[in-house]
Amino acid sequence: MRPLNELLRDSATHHRRLCPRQVLGARVGMFAASLLTLDLPQPDKRLLAFVETDGCFVDGVSAATGCYVGRRTLRVEDFGKTAVTFFDTRAERAVRIAPRLDARELAREYAPKAKNRWEAQLLGYQLMPNEDLLDFKWVTMRINIPALIGQAGARVNCDSCGEEIINQREVLWESKILCRACAGQAYYIEAEHASTLRFPRETR
């Protein structure tokens, strides 16, 4: 495992500055490495991370574990919680890690010279032992992991809108292949004047 200061440096490159949640994310990732006895950051796709919030916390997790959205090894399940469940795809076991409820208060004890609460958390989270900073529990995944990963290279087109669907995310309905949007699971609705928003043809 790389040292914490290196992980924090990598995490901070995505932000204007290092913040307490990036530290928490990195510490959670480091703790996962010890609980699952894995070498992290990972060079492959063995470990999956299910992060329960978005934002800077996620960058700390990614720096420590090598789990990224772009590698399809990190997913955001937005419960609004600073927590992560890690699933080891080879050992088929999962652990959920979250900060202790009193971590903010305890941080001041480890950074007594901090100028304010924010700085106390920034410094304290780097110094606190795992048992004072984090809680964990072994869990069983309810998600179908093979279905989540999908089949590499699988591509079909939606019978309704015609758009390409990858990663086996299509929906079968009355013998038709549909994308999730056309199957009624869209997160958007098309504007009534959408036809006027198309890129105009170049005029010469």
Q: What is the pLDDT of residues 124-156, one digit of tens each?
A: 999 999 999 999 999 999 999 998 888 878 899
Distances (CA, A) of 163 to 66, 191, 199: 31, 18, 18
Lowest mean pLDDT among 2-6, 34-38, 98-102, 129-133: 2-6
For residues 62 and 54, what is the distance between their CA atoms, to the nearest angstrom? Answer: 12
Which domains are present in the chain?
A: 4-147 (3.30.1330.130), 150-197 (no CATH)
Residue 68 has pLDDT above 80, yes or no: yes
Measured between alpha carbons, how far is 83 from 187 in angstroms, rounded to an integer? 25
Structure token pair of residue 164: 């390409």
198 or 171, which is more confident = 171
Write down how long the chain is.
204
Structure tokens at 177: 């292949």
Helix (H) or strand (E) segment spanning residue 104 = helix 103-110
Q: Which of the pair, 151 or 75, is modelled with greater confidence?
A: 75
Confidence of residue 202 (pLDDT cuts 50, 70, 90): low
pLDDT tens across 7-63, in order? 888 887 877 789 999 999 999 999 999 999 999 999 999 999 999 999 999 999 999
Tell me the pLDDT band of 112, cut-offs 50, 70 and 90: very high
How many Cα atoms sit within 13 Å of 11 on the Cβ side? 32
